[in-house]
Amino acid sequence: MFRRIGDKIVCYARRKSPWILHFDTGGCNGCAIETFAVLTPRYDIERFGGLSKANPRHSDILIISGAVTKKIESRLRRVYEQTPEPKAVIAVGSCAISKGVFHDAYNISGPLDRIMPVDVYVPGCPPKPEAILQGLLKALDVWRERYKI
Ligand code: SF4
């Protein structure tokens, strides 16, 4: 995908300094709380160059947690399209991965990978912050393999 050397340099810089957008779609918010913990100084994502951002246009990695409802689906698609390439998506928790405890609810649209391509799955209900952090590092590996940097 990236032919010019300049693109590779930009990609390398992004991998060393990923900006992260966390989007919680709902659910019980357990996964959101665990993800917030990862983004705080206790787990110190800044040692990996990570920075929490509130704007998809400035983000490299999307962390999505919670069940995807019919109401949130269009917003999720818009956030994904607004995030520039190269990007990676991490699905956090059973709700995002497989609808979880909401699997037969009337207002659930589907698992996250029906809405957008998912690069890393972090299972659990909710997963521990350490698991989410590991998923973040895995997403950086996905970048390296995909763009050969
Ligand atoms: S996976 Fe479990 S903890 Fe996470 S939002 Fe769903 S019900 Fe809550």
Contacts (Cβ under 8 Å, ≥6 apart) of 39: 20, 22, 45, 52
pLDDT at 35 (0 to 100): 94
- Summarised one tens digit per residue, pLDDT across range 39-92 is 998 998 999 888 998 999 999 999 999 999 999 999 999 999 999 988 899 999
- Summarised one tens digit per residue, pLDDT across range 92-137 is 999 999 999 999 999 998 899 999 999 999 999 999 999 999 999 9
Higher pLDDT, 47 or 149: 47
Nearest CA to ligand 1 atom 6: 95
pLDDT at 85 (0 to 100): 84
Atom of ligand 1 nearest to the CA of 126: 3
- With a 6 Å cutoff on the Cβ, whether 126 touches ligand 1 is yes
Residue 57 lies in a domain: yes
Q: Report pTM.
A: 0.91
Q: Can you list the positions of beta strands (E) in 33-82?
A: 51-53, 61-65, 68-69
Question: Is the per-residue pLDDT at 141 higher than 90?
Answer: no
Are 69 and 109 spatial neighbours (Cβ–Cβ below 8 Å)? yes
The answer to whether the bond into 84 is cis (omega within 30° of 0) is no
Residue 98 lies in a domain: yes
Which domain does 133 fall in, by range? Answer: 22-147
Give the pairing of strands 61-65 and 19-24: parallel
Residue 77 lies in a domain: yes
* Integer Cα distance of 108 and 126 in angstroms: 18
Instruction: Give how many domains the chain has, as a whole number.
Output: 1
Residue 10 lies in a domain: no
Question: Is the per-residue pLDDT at 4 higher than 90?
Answer: no
Residue 17 lies in a domain: no
CATH number of the domain to which 106 belongs: 3.40.50.12280
- With a 6 Å cutoff on the Cβ, whether 105 touches ligand 1 is no
Residue 28 lies in a domain: yes
**Of 25, 38, 64, 95, which is best to mutate to test ligand 1, by the most ligand atoms within 8 angstroms of its C-beta?**
95
- With a 6 Å cutoff on the Cβ, whether 131 touches ligand 1 is no
pLDDT at 148 (0 to 100): 67
Atom of ligand 1 nearest to the CA of 26: 5
- Summarised one tens digit per residue, pLDDT across range 6-29 is 777 877 787 788 999 999 998 899
Atom of ligand 1 nearest to the CA of 24: 5
